[in-house]
Amino acid sequence: MNCIVCIACVPDTATVIKIGPDGKGIDETGIKWIVSPYDEYALEEALKITEAKGGEVTVVTFGPDRADSALRDCLARGAHKAIHVRGGEASLGDSFTIASVLAAAVKGLSYDLILVGVKGVGTDNAQVGQMLAELLGIPHCAAVTTLELGDGVLTAGRDVEGGRERVVSPLPALLTCQKGLNEPRYAALKGIMAAKKKPVDKVEVASLGIQEGASPFYAVRSLALPPAKSAGTVIKGEDDPAGAAAQLVKLLRDEAKVI
């Protein structure tokens, strides 16, 4: 069973984000770039499937040169092939353009299942997977936390408000993967060394018939960090609980304006 995993290369979640000089992007100085954490669940599930049923895992990403390191990480964990569509600088947060590029990149490939993370850490739009499925004309299920594969069919489970939902779909299909689906593995030293020798196919966006930035679905006008949190107010009421309660009520009414 052949699986395609679409990944995003994002800043390490421990990174302190700073706004870049143009005010429309982040300052990339000193940033460590990693596979988007939700995409790790997609990769792990694809690896488990091919280990059990045979086939290959092909990892695809759309991004600048730095995304090559994320692809190498996926190859080190066990992916068989990698495709790097170079570009992405003009597509920050533009889910439709990203999905269009990925659709063009995988359209000619043989696959039974496409897996992506439920969202890319950073923009958190949670849109690319569903858009990609629609562009490819295949069924999809979002936020999957359990998966069973049968003969030409899959059964996926996901959490919904007040319970769990069970979805049955024919193959090929696309799934967006949520935390809880599995526990992603780490790359072993043997895999890291082997990944250095595995080829990564480089594809230019223009060769897919797409002119990045020509007609954006979404554009960033400006970025701003959230306002700094003000210091909290501590009310000590050990000696005078009634007075502390009165002070709390006054603050909630006059400052917080919640009562």
Q: What is the pLDDT of residues 5-42, one digit of tens each?
A: 999 999 998 888 899 998 888 898 889 999 999 999 99
pLDDT confidence tier of residue 229, bands split at 50, 70 and 90: confident
Question: Which pLDDT does position 256 carry in this prediction?
Answer: 83
CB 211 within 8 Å of CB 97: no
Cβ atoms 121, 85 nearer than 8 A: no
Strands 173-177, 57-63: pairing is unpaired
pTM of the model: 0.85
Which residue in the block uniquely carries the two structure tokens 């960090």?
Answer: 225
pLDDT confidence of residue 165: 94
Phi, psi (deg, nearest 5) at residue 183: -120, 105
Residue 180 has pLDDT above 80, yes or no: yes
Confidence grade of residue 237 (pLDDT, cut at 50, 70, 90): confident
Q: 82 or 222, which is more confident?
A: 82
pLDDT at 175: 98
Q: How far apart are CA 218 and CA 107, in angstroms?
A: 23
The structural domains of the chain, with segments of one domain joined by +, span: 3-208, 230-259
pLDDT of residue 194: 92
pLDDT of residue 112: 97
Specify the CATH superfamily of domain 3-208: HUPs (3.40.50.620)
The type of residue at 50 is T
Q: Report the alpha-carbon distance of residue 176 to residue 125 in Å, rounded.
A: 13
**pLDDT tens, position by position, 186-220:** 999 999 999 998 989 999 998 998 888 777 888 88
Cβ atoms of 13 and 121 within 8 Å: the answer is yes
Q: What is the pLDDT of the chain when averaged over all its residues?
A: 92
Report how far residue 259's alpha carbon sits from residue 254's, in angstroms, rounded to the nearest whole number. Answer: 9
